[in-house]
A and B are shown apart, each in its own frame.
Chain A
Amino acid sequence: MAMLDVKNIHKSYDDNEILRGVSFTMEKEETKVIIGPSGTGKSTLLRCINQLSPPDAGEVWLDGEEITNPATNINKIREKIGFVFQDFNLFTHLTALRNVSIGLEKVKGMEKETARKRAMDELCRVGLDAQTKQYPAQLSGGQKQRVGIARALAMDPDIILFDEPTSALDPELIGDVLDVMKSLCGKVAMLVVTHEMGFARNVADEIIFMEGGVIVESGPPKEMFTNAKTQRAKEFLGRIGALYGGG
């Protein structure tokens, strides 16, 4: 049984059907990358998985539990699904350290001191030992995003969803964040929406190409990059490869 099972998700905003039946599965510690043109519903899909925007139809199963079932305690589930935002969404009023520890304290009910130590470890892991006392406004974009990742990691999630984690960053800061993500590969499942083709090619176990609210094609990076079956995937990968480099 797959760890994450997404079955036939549909989602509309007003009269616009954004997701028109999306299904895929993920195993423990697997890394998958979602690519596709803007407005295709990639962010919407991620938000449907952790129920920030509940889908209109379809099911999401995590560890054998149907989390789309209204009876499940969604807060408990979200503890197990980390989320890393495109624009970071660090808590403005808290230091880097407190950003990471607040979930441990208030959601997991950890002792303040234990939570602090754990947060410290996570920040070290993403290379921010020196910035623990800084507020979000005092961090660079790349540092902010690494705090965002540490915040998600600290909760010991089964899977982390990344929504274009590097697209709000200056080019020279992207590398640090990608390095951190690479280091997580194989330790926790990751579902990453990104345009970073180098990351997709070298790190992903599978690439999912989405367009118009459906998965057009998916497969291992090698196959997708060298001989995608669909014309659309070929075109898109060609274009995006030229833009973001093959790395």
Chain B
Amino acid sequence: MRGPLALDTLVESLPQLMDGLKYTLGLTAFGIILGTSLGVLLAVGRSYGTRILSIIIMIYEKVIRGIPLLVLFFLIYFGLPQIGINFDAFTAAILGLGLRSSAYQAQIYRGAINSIPEGQINAAYALGMSKFKAIRYIILPQVLRLSIPGWSNEFTILLKDTSLAFGIGVIELMRQARYIQVRDPDLVLIVFLFIALIYFILVFSANKTLRYVEKRYQMAGYQSEVHR
């Protein structure tokens, strides 16, 4: 009988864990791309769109933020097929992660848009810029810079939330760990600790990198407003 810290067998399961890691990273990448693009659109739509559009977006944000991610996963993966819409587990997880993140990211961008003084857009108009150009060249660049800390936050949340894709059977890190546990129960503690370590390294390095980006693009005299 091996002890609970059997390192040699852990090494044997490494390839399997790396397989899971690939899915974890894939979910993170696609999820954040969906969440960010949708989030920016939602924020711009809510701030600059018609009244109706902005009400619709507000409701979307409130509803999505009110539903736990796991329930959202279940709705998409188990619920939608009932009305003929089928996704594989991986796609369903990306949709769930992206939709939920978009609702939170929209808030960040909207907050940033609101924090930009009206004088900025007036000055852009006074130069002869159209609304589109003013948003594109004056507002958005500032909004995105101001949003880096909030975005970093969302990124790490999403990274950790990919673990919930376990609940609909995506073979990501957690699922692989469970497979290993079932096959080799002695390994359970060490495998989960190891998984924790992997996540920790991912979150830690993401934070460090993003903090660097934040510093790099910080507008002079503008302390980013959000600090963890």
Contact = CB atoms under 8 A, between A and B. Distances in A.
Do the two chains touch directly in the complex (Cβ atoms below 8 Å apart)?
yes
Given A93-B145, A137-B220, A155 B120 contact: no
A146 to B, nearest CB: 15
A156 B138 CA distance: 21
Interface in A122-167: 134-138, 151-152, 155
18 contacts: A78-B125, A78-B126, A82-B126, A83-B123, A85-B123, A89-B120, A91-B123, A91-B138, A92-B116, A93-B141, A93-B145, A103-B129, A106-B133, A107-B129, A107-B133, A136-B220, A137-B221, A152-B126
Interface in B115-157: 116-117, 119-120, 122-130, 133, 137-138, 141-142, 145
Contacts of A106: 129, 133, 137
A78 B133 CA distance: 14
Interface string A74-99: 01111101110101111111000000
A138 B126 CA distance: 23
A87 B119 contact: yes
A91 B222 CA distance: 12
Contacts of A93: 141-142, 145, 219
A92 B142 contact: yes
Contacts of B219: 92-93, 135, 137
A92 B142 CA distance: 8
List the 9 closest A-B pairs by CB distance, nearest first. A137-B221, A135-B220, A89-B119, A83-B126, A79-B128, A103-B127, A89-B123, A78-B128, A107-B128
A50 B133 CA distance: 18
B221 A89 contact: no
B137 A102 contact: yes
Interface of A: 50, 52, 75-79, 81-83, 85, 87-93, 102-103, 106-107, 134-138, 151-152, 155
Given A91-B120, A91-B123, A137 B222 contact: yes
Contact of A79 (B124, B127, B220): B127
A116 to B, nearest CB: 16
Nearest to B137: A106
A50 B120 contact: no
A155 B128 CA distance: 9
Contacts of B128: 75-79, 103, 107, 155
Interface string B164-206: 0000000000000000000000000000000000000000000
A43 to B, nearest CB: 11
B127 A92 contact: no
Given A83-B126, A89-B119, A138-B220, 15 more contacts: A52-B122, A52-B125, A78-B126, A79-B127, A83-B122, A91-B123, A92-B222, A93-B219, A102-B127, A102-B137, A103-B128, A135-B219, A137-B219, A137-B222, A151-B123
B97 to A, nearest CB: 30
Contact of B221 (A81, A138, A155): A138
A107 B127 contact: yes
Contacts of A50: 126
Most B Cβ at <10 Å: residue of A90, A106, A138: A106
B17 to A, nearest CB: 43
B23 to A, nearest CB: 38
Interface in B98-123: 116-117, 119-120, 122-123
A91 B124 CA distance: 8
Contact of A85 (B119, B145, B220): B119
B19 to A, nearest CB: 43
A87 B138 CA distance: 17
